Amino acid sequence: MSSSDSAWPRIARRPVPGSLIDELRMIFGARLSTALSVREQHGRDESPFEVAGPDAVVFCEETEDVVAALGLAAKHLVPVIPFGAGTSLEGHLLAVQGGISLDLSRMSRILRIDADDLTATVQPGVTREQLNAEIRHTGLFFPVDPGANASLGGMCATRASGTNAVRYGTMRENVLALEVVTAAAEVIRTGTRARKSSAGYDLTRLFIGSEGTLGVITEVTVRLYPVPEASSVAVCNFRSVSQAVAVTIATVQIGIPIARVELLDAHAVRAVNKYAHLQLLETPMLFIEFQGSEQEVAAQARTVQQIASDNGGEDFQWAVTQEERTRLWTARHHAYFAGMAAYPGCRTVTTDACVPISRLSEAIADSVSDADSSGLPYYIVGHVGDGNYHVSYLVDPGIPKQRALAEAMSRRVVECAMLLEGTCTGEHGIGLHKQDFLAMEAGPGGLQMMRTIKRALDPDNILNPGKIFSL
C-alpha cells in the first residue's frame, strides 16, 4: 500500500436524506448552507487529495448547536466532520463519505482568563493569535505555535506542536481540560483546572490527537506562561545541513534551555527570501531563540555561539529589535507558502517525521540524499530541537509521475524515521495520508485497541469516518 490517494479505503458516500437537511434548516436557518462554493471551501485543506465536499455545512455558535446537529446526524446515521481553520496537511477535513461539515470557527469566544492560575478557557474556534492578543495585558502568553494561525480546537484534535515545543511542549502537555460532545450528542467534561490529577483514565489525552473521530471539542482549558523577561533571536549560516543539525544536537544534549531552534535548508531560505523580501544568505540556516533573564539569555547565547563556531557556523547574527524578530519568525512560518510561490501552479506533497535527537543527523542526511537524486524541487524545514523535521516536494499536478515520485520519497522519509525508533508524524497527524504508516508504527495490537475505542465511543462511525484507520 502506498502513501498516495490509494492509501486509504474508498468507501461510498453515505446518503444524506432531504429530511435531515430540512430538520437542520429549521434549527439553524441561514447558518445551514448547501451552496456549492461553501461546500467546496469546507471540502479541502492543504493536503494534495481531491475529494468531493460535504453535502451541507452547519455554522455552530454554541455547544448547544453542536449537540443539536450531532443528535440529528446520529438519528440519520450521517457523517459529521468538524471544521476549524482549514489548515490541515493530511486530509483531516475531507468528507470522504459525504455528510455534514460542522464549522466551529464562529465559536470564537474567550470564556475565562485566570491569570493567577495561569489558565484560560476558550471556545474551539479561538485561534492562538487571538488568545495571545487578548491576554497580552496580563503578561502571559500561550506558547504552542504550529505556524499557521490554527484554531485551538483543531490544534487539540491534531495534537499540534510547532516552534516552541522544544521548551514548552505540545498540546498534549498544555491542555488541562476539555468539553466534548460525543457521537450520542452527550456533553462530557474531562480534566479540571488543577495542574495534575490521578482520577481514573486520562480522558483529556484520549481526545487530544483523536482528529475528530471520537467527539467534537467545544471548550478547551489551556496552560498559560509568563512572558520572558528577555528574548533574543540569532541566525547562523552553515555550509551543510549536517553541520546545522550537529549544532542542534550538541545544544540539546548539554541541556541549554533554548526556546526555539528552527532549521531551513538552502532551498527553503531561497524561497523565503523571495516571498518575504528578505536578504538572508542562501545556505542552510538555524534560527535560534533564547528566553529568560538578561543574564540567562546572554549566557545561553555565548554557549551556543561557541558550539556553532566549533561546527562550522558562520555569520552568527542577532535580530535585535522586536520588529526584526517578528519578521524572521513570520518568514519561517510562511515557508510552506513561500515554497509553493516559488513554483506557481505546483502542489506540495509534504511529510513530517520525528526521531530521537541522537538520530536526527542520520535521518535528515538520508532525506537530503534521496531528494537531491530525484530531480524534484524540494525544501526541508524542521523544529529540530525536538527531532521533528518536514520535507516538502513540489510537483506539477499535470504530471502524475512527479506525484508518484514525491509520494515514494515521502514514504522513505517516514520508514527511515521509524527504523531509527522515531514516529511517522511529529505533529501533522494521520488523517488520510498516513494510515498505512500508523499500522506499521502501532502494530496489529495497538491498532486493534484504537479501533475498539472508536467502536465503543462511536458505534455508528459518524464522527469523521475514514480518518486515522479504516473500520
Residues 148 and 173 in one domain: yes
pLDDT confidence of residue 160: 93
pLDDT confidence of residue 6: 46
Q: Is residue 434 part of a domain?
A: no
Q: Is residue 203 part of a domain?
A: yes
Residues 257 and 195 in one domain: no
The residue among 80, 106, 132 that closes a domain is 106
pLDDT confidence of residue 3: 41
Residues 179 and 131 in one domain: yes
Whether residue 401 contacts residue 1, with contact meaning beta carbons closer than 8 Å, is answered with no
Q: Is residue 450 part of a domain?
A: no
Residues 234 and 215 in one domain: no
pLDDT confidence of residue 241: 94
**Which residues, given as ranges, of the chain have pLDDT below 70?**
1-10
Residues 335 and 410 in one domain: yes
Q: What is the pLDDT of residues 242-289, one digit of tens each?
A: 999 999 999 999 999 999 999 999 999 999 999 999 889 999 999 999
pLDDT confidence of residue 305: 92
CATH value at residue 54: 3.30.43.10
- The closest alpha carbon to 143, from 227, 84, 87, 218, belongs to 227
In sequence order, the 6+-apart residues with CB closer than 8 A to the CB of 123 are: 104, 107, 108, 109, 110, 111, 153, 218, 219, 220
pLDDT confidence of residue 7: 52
Q: Is residue 453 part of a domain?
A: no
In this structure, which long-range contacts are made by residues 80-84, counting pairs with CB atoms below 8 Å and at least 24 apart in sequence?
80/216, 80/462, 80/463, 80/464, 81/42, 81/54, 81/212, 81/464, 82/153, 82/154, 82/157, 82/212, 82/216, 82/217, 82/464, 83/42, 83/57, 84/124, 84/125, 84/150, 84/151, 84/153, 84/154, 84/157
CATH value at residue 167: 3.30.465.10
Q: pTM here?
A: 0.92
Residues 71 and 153 in one domain: no
CATH value at residue 279: 3.40.462.10
Q: Is residue 319 part of a domain?
A: yes
CB-based burial, 59-83: b 16+ in 10 Å, e otherwise: bbbebebbbbbbebbbebebbbbbb
Q: Is residue 471 part of a domain?
A: no
pLDDT confidence of residue 46: 77
Residues 211 and 244 in one domain: no
Residues 311 and 354 in one domain: yes
The residue among 205, 226, 247 that closes a domain is 226
Q: What is the pLDDT of residues 327-353, one digit of tens each?
A: 888 888 889 889 999 999 998 899 999
Residues 298 and 411 in one domain: yes
pLDDT confidence of residue 1: 35
- Total domains, the chain: 3
- The closest alpha carbon to 223, from 251, 193, 199, belongs to 193
- The closest alpha carbon to 286, from 308, 256, 257, 270, belongs to 308
Q: Is residue 429 part of a domain?
A: no
Range of the domain at 195: 110-226
Q: Is residue 431 part of a domain?
A: no
β pairing state of 119-122 and 285-292: unpaired
Residues 82 and 116 in one domain: no
pLDDT confidence of residue 12: 81
User: How far is it, in rounded angstroms, from Cα 50 to Cα 346?
Assistant: 14
The residue among 74, 106, 138 that closes a domain is 106
Residues 262 and 384 in one domain: yes
pLDDT confidence of residue 4: 46
Residues 96 and 115 in one domain: no
